[in-house]
Structures are given as C-alpha cells and as structure tokens.
C-alpha cells in the first residue's frame, strides 16, 4: 500500500478512522523572519495592488484606456498661469524697489542735513546722528554703501559696453568709407 494514501485502521466496524501520513516537521528556514524579508514576494506584497505591475502574465497586456482628445483650453490656462505668476513677481519687485528707494532717500536726506549743518558751522554729533556704536544702524549703513557700490559698478559696465559698441560702429563705418568701389574686369581694361 502506498504510504501517502489514506488507510483505514482495523477497528470495530462502528467507528472507522481515516489515517493519513504524519505531517512533515516545519523547517527552521520557513519560520524565521529573516527569510521572509529576503523573499521578493514579501516586498511585492507591500506595494498596493493598484500600483503593482503584474509580472505573473508577461505576455498578457492590459488594454489601454482610450485616450481623450487634447483640450484646447489647456494652452491658454498654462499661458495665463505663467503671465499671472510673472505679474505677481513684477508687483513684488516694484514693491521692494519702492521700499528701497524710500529708505535710500531717507538716508540721503539725513546725510544732507548733517553736511549742511557742518557747512553752516553748527555743532553736530555726527556719530550720534549716523548711528555709530549702534550695530543695527551700522549694518544698515553698510548695506546702503554696498548697494551704492553695486549700482556704480553696474553703471560703469553699461557705460563701458556702450562706449565699446560705439567704437566698433565707428570703426566699421570708417572701414566702409575707405574701401574703393570694386571695378569690373571689363570696364578697367576695355572691351578689346
């Protein structure tokens, strides 16, 4: 009799018992947690089912849903988003520039007052007026001076670039005027 097939035990006819082969003991590799983590099925089971790629049937392709036609309003929506974003940026830049201009004008006015008082011979505590020994006001003055230096450097670069382009244009104009007009071979030597 085959070992795997069930057999009936010979007992009284009133209680037949179905005997099956003894189950095999579990191996230690299937009960350890590290082996389940190392299996690919464990990691695949962590991914939600709608996001999993079905690799069990590689030849079976899912039918693609029909593509919707392109919405013509999408272009205009994108363009208006870009325009709106740029307009917001321009408003913020204008606001920052206005604040900087007001701050610079106030500081320049303060400097003018101090200079006028000094020219008139009045006693002025320049250090107190300009905020010497006050770290916050000194930092503000440093920022103003750095900004003035940056503006001067930018103006100088622009003036240099304009002068260079003017020199190039003058040189090209002089070169065009100094060239003699080309003569044809027939007119210089005659026909015969």
What are the structural domain ranges in the chain? 96-171
DSSP letter for 24, please: P
Cα 122 to Cα 134: distance, rounded to the nearest angstrom: 24
**CB atoms < 10 A from the CB of 104, how many?**
14
Q: How far is CA 79 from CA 70, 86, 87, in A?
A: 16, 11, 12
Q: How far is CA 9 from CA 3, 19, 24, 129, in A?
A: 14, 7, 21, 114
Cα 167 to Cα 160: distance, rounded to the nearest angstrom: 10
Compute φ and ψ for 7, nearest 5 degrees: -130, 150
Q: Say if CB 74 and CB 82 are below 8 A apart.
A: no
Cα 131 to Cα 106: distance, rounded to the nearest angstrom: 14
Crossing angle of the two packed helices 73-120 and 135-178, in degrees rounded to 10: 110
Q: Say if CB 38 and CB 30 are below 8 A apart.
A: no
Q: What is the pLDDT of residue 58?
A: 57
pLDDT in tens, the chain (192 residues): 455 555 555 545 555 555 556 665 555 444 445 557 778 888 888 888 878 776 666 566 667 788 888 899 999 999 999 999 999 999 999 999 999 889 888 888 888 898 898 899 888 887 887 777 888 888 888 887 888 888 889 999 999 999 999 998 888 888 888 765 555 555 555 555
Counting Cα atoms < 13 Å in the Cβ hemisphere of 146 gives 6
pTM above 0.85, yes or no: no
Q: Say if CB 156 and CB 140 are below 8 A apart.
A: no
Q: What is the pLDDT of residue 3?
A: 54
């Amino acid at each position: 009799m085959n070992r795997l097939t069930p057999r009936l035990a010979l007992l009284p006819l009133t209680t037949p018992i179905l005997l099956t082969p003894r189950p095999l003991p579990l191996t230690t590799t299937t009960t350890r947690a590290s082996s389940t983590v190392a299996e690919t099925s464990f990691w695949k089971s962590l991914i939600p089912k709608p996001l999993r790629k079905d690799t069990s049937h590689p030849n079976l392709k899912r039918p693609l849903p029909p593509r919707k036609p392109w919405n013509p309003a999408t272009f205009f929506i994108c363009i208006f988003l870009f325009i709106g974003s740029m307009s917001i940026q321009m408003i913020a830049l204008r606001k920052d520039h206005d604040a900087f201009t007001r701050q610079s004008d106030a500081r320049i006015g303060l400097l003018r007052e101090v200079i006028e008082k000094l020219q008139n011979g009045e006693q002025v505590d320049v250090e107190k007026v300009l905020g010497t020994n006050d770290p916050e006001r000194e930092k503000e003055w440093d920022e103003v001076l750095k900004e003035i230096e940056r503006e001067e450097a930018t103006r100088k670069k622009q003036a240099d670039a304009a002068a260079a382009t003017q020199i190039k244009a003058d040189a090209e104009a002089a070169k065009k005027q100094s060239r003699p007009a080309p003569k044809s071979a027939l007119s210089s030597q005659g026909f015969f």
